[in-house]
Amino acid sequence: MNWQQVGKVMIGTSLALGSAAASAQLAPVGTYPGTPHLTNNVAESIENYNYGVCSTFGSSPEALSCYHNWGVQRATSAQFPNGKVLLWTRTAGPRHASIGTKLGFGLNPPLAANNATQKDVTRLLNAEGIAVDYTEDINAFNNLNQYAAIIFFDGSREAMWNHGNYVVPSMAKSTSNAAVLESAKINLRNYMRAGGGFVAFHNAFGTEYNWPWYEGLLGNGNYYNHGGNRNGNARTAVDDPSTARIGGPGTAYTFQDEWYTLVPYPTGVKVLQHLDMATQTSSCNGGIPCYFDNGNPGPGLEPITWCHYYDGGRAWLTVLGHNGAATSDLTTASTSPGRAEFQKTLVDGVKSAMGLIPFCT
């Protein structure tokens, strides 16, 4: 058991003590194979959590009641009539090469040549009539309701903290001894409760390990380890508007990534894509076994993309996105396979979380 699992067990213990009175959701048909349904009288475990908020998917009245359509006005413009998103790439630990040098303060600071992800996501979404604000400044979370979606792309660790230290002002982001260091986390939760959209890529699953609400937002799927950066087949699991341009169930394409192992794997969500385990070895970094299903070797499928309504908002999530080449301009040469398919999924996943196309039906 590594430190991430230890933290998960500790969180689960405190959650179980505080949520006995919470009404658990019944996971809809279509939950990832092998995952037990949540019922009111089933004890929680590392694979079977009740986060005390609504979490479901589908188009039934019951499922749609989990979404808070409160009529919040999101920003649009003549140039970008389809709205605006916030791209968050802040790290408080390891930093992926694809997001490049740490950004300066404020919205849309000057980008370095190696800030590939920020440039590419902006280009891809601008082409769809969607404006992008990119930032690593925690103060951006003070005005979230203007955005139709918040995108977490390759952050790490406790990136939502306002890492203040007013005792040593020269080290502080905020020199006020009245600073609320968790205000961004509060604002993100309130944003989702007001019908916001959330999109997670890759190491968003290596962010905020010790925040139970955020783990629920991720669908209870959490990073455990990963294999080497290698090819594998990403296979469509079910019909969904966000993967329709790739193809129906069973459609596969070769892609290159680190292929995260999830412990636990997502529960109570609609799995959209999975990794075909026939294209993988069972050894991850350091020779640790990969790909678990309730603690046992997986059944031949590993979820890599999924969606659900959560605490009033929409959440669309994928563990893909390690390689900077995956988002690069398709007119440029690359040895990274599956770029076109991944970029279609990226764009349509964001659009579904924004409500521009049907979500998680």
Tens-place pLDDT, residues 13-54 = 333 333 333 333 333 433 444 444 443 444 455 556 667 888
With vertex at residue 96, the alpha carbon angle to CA 173 and CA 260, rounded to the nearest 5 degrees, is 120
Name every residue whose Cβ is closer than 8 Å to that of residue 158 and which is 6 or more positions away in sequence.
Answer: 92, 207, 208, 210
Q: Which two tokens stand for residue 342?
A: 């991944």
Res. 72: pLDDT tops 90: yes
Lowest model confidence (mean pLDDT) among 117-131, 288-302, 316-330: 288-302
Burial 230-264 (b: 16+ CB within 10 A, else e): eebbbbbbeebbbbeebeeeeebbebbbbbbbbbb
Averaged pLDDT, 77-86: 98
Residue 112 lies in a domain: yes
For residue 320, the domain's CATH number is 3.40.50.880
What pLDDT is recorded for position 290? 59
The percent of residues in the chain predicted with pLDDT above 90, rounded, is 45
Residue 196 has pLDDT above 80, yes or no: yes
Asked if residue 334 belongs to a domain, the reply is yes
Lowest-pLDDT choice from 121-125, 127-131, 291-295, 321-325: 291-295
Closest CA to 121 of 91, 97, 93, 89: 89
Predicted local confidence at residue 170, as pLDDT: 60
251 in any annotated domain: yes
Q: Are 331 and 84 in contact (CB under 8 A)?
A: no
Domain range holding 54?
22-354
**Nearest-CA neighbor of 204 among 160, 159, 155?**
155
The answer as to whether 12 is a domain residue is no
Phi/psi of residue 307, nearest 5 degrees: -150, 160
Asked whether residue 81 is assigned to any structural domain, the reply reads: yes
- The pLDDT value given to residue 285: 55
Q: What's the pTM value of the predicted model, to 2 decimals?
A: 0.82
Domain assignment present for residue 5? The answer is no
pLDDT at residue 312, rounded to an integer: 95
Asked if residue 64 belongs to a domain, the reply is: yes
In this structure, of 116-120, 224-228, 229-233, 333-337, the range with the lowest mean pLDDT score is: 224-228
In a domain, 9, yes or no: no
Phi, psi of 3 (to 5 degrees): -65, -30
Count of structural domains within the chain: 1
- In angstroms, the CA 51 to CA 47 distance is 12
